[in-house]
Structure 1
Amino acid sequence: MHELIQEDKSIFLFLNNLGSTPFDQLWIMISATWIWVPLYVIFLYLLFKTFKFRSLIFILIFIALGVTVSDQLAGIFKTGILRLRPCHDPTLTGLMRAVKCGGQYGFYSSHAANTFFIATFMSLLLYKKFKFLPYFLFVWAIVVSYSRIYLGVHFPLDILMGSLMGFFTGGFFATLALKVIHKQNNSASTAKN
């Protein structure tokens, strides 16, 4: 375990030190939630074009539940595992670029969990109609996740664990949403007959 943590720190230092001051504001912006609001509006539009209004309501409920679960699990892990963020780790003082800093503990990354949740959820719901979308979504999730290493607030293992948690919760909630939509569509067609 000690060797794994040391390797994680080495990879973090390599990736974090690739940054330079002229690009700091760009990566701060990429990491911010508000900058992606137009993208979320586009997601909503794509869902609206693909699903009936009633199905859309269920989808939005599942997204809200999934993001909440993903976020709360990250909080439980952070307070349970108590792994210091890189910017709070005294062994990295003077070795890293601390562009930003968050709370004391950072395992695992809720940014990675939430973006991978959305990428997985939206991909499973929309890939049949928009074939290119999963590629775009996962590149977006990777870029947002990397921003956390760039800024100095997460180690690569924090990102990896967050990404996996987001991927699995996204898959789980997308599967539930599709089952509810399928059941609802079957009930509607049975009622018509």
Structure 2
Amino acid sequence: MLEKIKQLDQEWFLTINGYHSSFWDPIMVAISDRLFWIPFYLILAAYLIYRHRRQSILMFLAIGLALLAADGISSRFIKPYFARLRPCHDATLSETINIVGGCGGKFGFLSSHAANTFAIAMLFALMLPDRYRYFKIFAFIWAVAISYSRVYLGVHFPGDVLGGAVLGIVLGLIFGFLFRKLLVRHPYFTR
């Protein structure tokens, strides 16, 4: 059963990774690059501070802790434990894959990019009021786009990003729950 899942994962990877074009390659590199998103993060942080004042302190705390947990668990525990090679480091795939923009570390399961972005998307879904529903949808589309770019670029199997997404959502739920508990217990942050 496990071999069948690995084979299916590899087939999906080869299909997604095979859709390359000179138009999409630089776009996917940019989407996957953490530095590309810095202006967006700065604008978002400024808006959260302006709009949510004191509550933004707890928001940033929840986001920071979720990112530390997602990145730490994926990079320091899960990747070394499973030791699954990234597709770009797998010698059996070297002839068939397109690597765009470098390869990254040796192991790929599970994707830290996916874990981090899905943790943030889940946190926004829980922290922000319902009037931000379109932003919440955008946050998940953003997480999916970054995760997809990792497969497109040849650095992760679909199973890597799916595992990262699950970890991120679980951590987002945990830290979102803690965020809500702190808001209830400390009315200072709701003023």
Q: TM-score, normalised by structure 2?
A: 0.92
**Identical positions, percent:** 37
* Partner of residue 146 from structure 2, selected from 141, 144, 147: 144
Aligned to 2:176: 174
Q: How does 1:23-62 map to 2 (within 5 A)?
A: 23-53=24-54, 55-62=55-62
Letter aligned with residue 57 of structure 1: I
Report the CA distance shift for 1:186/1:38 in structure 2 as closer, same or farther (over 3 A). Answer: closer
List runs of 5+ in structure 1 lacking aligned partners: none
Residue 17 (structure 2) pairs with residue 16 (structure 1): yes
Give the stretch that moved more between structures: 126-135 or 28-37. Answer: 126-135
Shift of 1:59: 2.0
Matched, 1:88 2:89: yes
> Which stretch of the first structure deviates more once superposed, 166-175 or 180-189?
180-189
CA deviations over 1:45-96 (Å, ceiling 9, x no partner): 343244332x322221221111001001101111010000000111112111
Aligned partners of 2:59 and 2:127 also within 8 Å: no
Structure possessing the higher radius of gyration over alpha carbons: 1
Q: Residue 131 of structure 1: SS of its match in structure 2? A: helix
CA-atom RMSD in angstroms: 1.8
Partner of 1:170: helix, strand, or coil? helix
Deviation, 1:129, is 3.0
CA distance in structure 2 between the partners assigned to 1:118 and 1:107 by the alignment: 19
Aligned residues: 188
Letter in 1 for 2:138: F
Q: Deviations over 1:99-132 (max 9, x none)?
A: 1201110100000011111111012111423121
Q: Give matches, 1:101-116, under 5 Å.
A: 101-116=103-118
Runs of 4+ residues over 3 Å off in structure 1: 186-189
Q: Partner of 1:69 in structure 2?
A: 69
Change (3 A) 1:50 1:19: same
Does the residue aligned with 2:131 lie in a helix, a strand or coil? coil
Structure 1 116/147 Cα, relative in aligned 2: closer, same or farther at 3 Å?
same
1:161 aligns with 2:163: yes
5+ residue gaps, structure 2: none
Q: Distance in 2 between matches of 1:131 and 1:107?
A: 31
The equivalent residue for 2:127 is 125
| TM-aligned CA distance change 1:27 to 1:188, over 3 Å | closer
